[in-house]
Amino acid sequence: TVMACGDVIYRSTLPHNDGLTITAPGVALALAAASYLWATPGVAPGFFDMFVLAFAERLFRPTFRKDDFVPGKKLGEGAFGVVYKASLADPKAAEKQGDVVVKKATEYGAVEIWMNERVRRACASSCADFLYGFRESKTKGKGEEYWLIWRYEGEDTLSALMQSKEFPYNVETKILGNVQDLPKGIARENKIVQTVMGQLLFALDGLHSTGIVHRDIKPQNVIFSEGNDQHICLQFHTKIFSTDLFTFSPLEESRTFKIIDLGAAADLRVGINYIPKEFLLDPR
């Protein structure tokens, strides 16, 4: 007891540090931690997006159910879902919203919904304009299915355009606005193809800058948007992508190629759909 009492008395005589002591090692450690958290892919922004922005978005966004849509033309079918052109069942809502694209996915639908929502918040101009995604129980049998809705922007994929004998001239007026004052040949074709590649690389840059890796880039997953692009990523306002081959600004034209099908994408900020030892391969 005497020793304990003496220890208390001794400690009471020591100088007290009432404030925060700033030391060089401490500053270096803090800067290193901040650099790690904010460096690409950006763990700290990903945390903020996942737990703040995503939560706030769910409170204010419109909601849909599968009964709200009238399916129309079938646009495509893959291993994990079927895509339709559709319209809203409510005539007034349909007139206001316009046509939409609906995908009914059976697998990896939750991942694709997350990726599309992330892209819409971070850089919507990279991909097709996503509206909403939800999950519903199947009417027959067990299990659940995921429904994803995009604004209808067109149905021409880069793959379909490339299969035409007129390629690349069949996309000339789409992306350049008019026919070039050049004879048909390498110089004219190069400008068209380089513009397509510029748009595609800009879209990829938007995804990568927000920590998303698509992992399934191919002509079938690149669609030409006819316009109505109301979401322009802020970073596109402040930089121009340049190489020795071409210089391109996505602000020059809203009619542009966009990336679709994010079912295989990985979000490196929060680790969703990322397994380090898993390799993806499309045999095509």
pLDDT in tens, 72-109: 888 888 767 889 999 988 888 888 888 999 998 877 78
pLDDT at 228: 54
DSSP of 15-56: PP--SPPP-HHHHHHHHHHHHHHHSTT-HHHHHHIIIIIHHH
Residues in the annotated binding site for ATP:
104
- Which residue has tokens 């034209």? 253
Domains located in the chain, CATH noted: 59-267 (1.10.510.10)
pLDDT at 80: 72
90 part of the active site: no
pLDDT at 231: 41
- pLDDT tens profile 106-149: 777 888 999 999 999 888 899 999 999 988 877 666 677 899 99
pLDDT at 141: 62
Q: How far apart are CA 192 and CA 168, in angstroms?
A: 7
Catalytic annotation, pick one of 7, 18, 216, 229: 216
Question: pTM of the prediction?
Answer: 0.75
pLDDT at 282: 66
**What torsion, rounded to 10 degrees, do the Cα atoms 177, 183, 186, 188 define?**
-10
Q: Which of 156, 252, 153, 162 is nearest to 199 (CA)?
A: 252
pLDDT at 145: 87
Q: How far apart are CA 34 and CA 72, in angstroms?
A: 50
Percent of the chain with pLDDT over 70: 87
Contact present, 261 and 226 (Cβ < 8 Å):
no
Average pLDDT value for residue range 222-226: 92
